[in-house]
């Protein structure tokens, strides 16, 4: 089994913001796999969809919580489905990566990302996969929190959509070939 968790802020006003790119990739995968994502089982604090890919059960999840408190919902998914963190991939925005870049990492720290910090604290381990989706740094002296909560400018949206499709391709490859997926992510410019 594998668990794919896309971090986000669930309020409608945050739809299509930089901070929500992880959940957007989960949405792309659910569309590709014809898997609906809805209310999870009672003890699961996330919206989930369950499907099979290459003879493996796959859980798509987006927490029922804001980004900075994503850890307990992600942990609830792993606990309910009796899965180890090593078969978890968390999808999230990353300001330290240039816009459009992707990086697949395993066993890393939070890098200043509060959503990942929460996941690390809840799981008690760094031994899970992360797909970092580059959104770039804020311009000038702009507050980083305000920057990630903004929608992408219209002139970037087409490139964002291509980047998110590429991110979904990396996740699909990760299911069967994590090292190949890491290389594929690194090639994204």
> Could you give the residue numbers annotated as active site?
19
Q: Which residues of 92-101 are buried (b: 16+ CB within 10 A; e: fewer)?
A: bbbbebebbb
Nearest to 93 by CA among 60, 125, 126, 70: 70
d(CA 90, CA 125): 13
Tokens for 27?
Answer: 């949405």
């Amino acid at each position: 089994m594998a668990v794919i968790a896309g971090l986000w802020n669930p309020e409608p006003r945050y739809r299509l913001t930089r901070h929500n790119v992880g959940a957007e990739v989960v949405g792309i995968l659910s569309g590709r796999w014809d898997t609906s994502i809805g209310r999870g089982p009672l003890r699961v604090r996330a919206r989930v969809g369950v499907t099979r890919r290459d003879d493996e059960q796959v859980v798509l999840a987006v927490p029922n919580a804001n980004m900075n408190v994503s850890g307990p919902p992600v942990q609830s998914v792993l606990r309910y489905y009796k899965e180890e963190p090593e078969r978890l991939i968390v999808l999230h925005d990353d300001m330290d990566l240039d816009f459009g870049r992707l990086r697949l990492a395993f066993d890393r720290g939070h890098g200043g990302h509060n959503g990942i910090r929460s996941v690390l604290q809840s799981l008690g381990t760094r031994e899970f996969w992360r797909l970092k989706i580059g959104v770039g740094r804020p311009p000038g002296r702009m507050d980083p929190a305000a920057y990630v909560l903004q929608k992408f400018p219209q002139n970037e949206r087409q490139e964002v959509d291509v980047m998110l499709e590429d991110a979904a391709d990396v996740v699909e490859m990760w299911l069967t070939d994590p090292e190949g997926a890491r290389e594929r992510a690194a090639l994204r410019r």
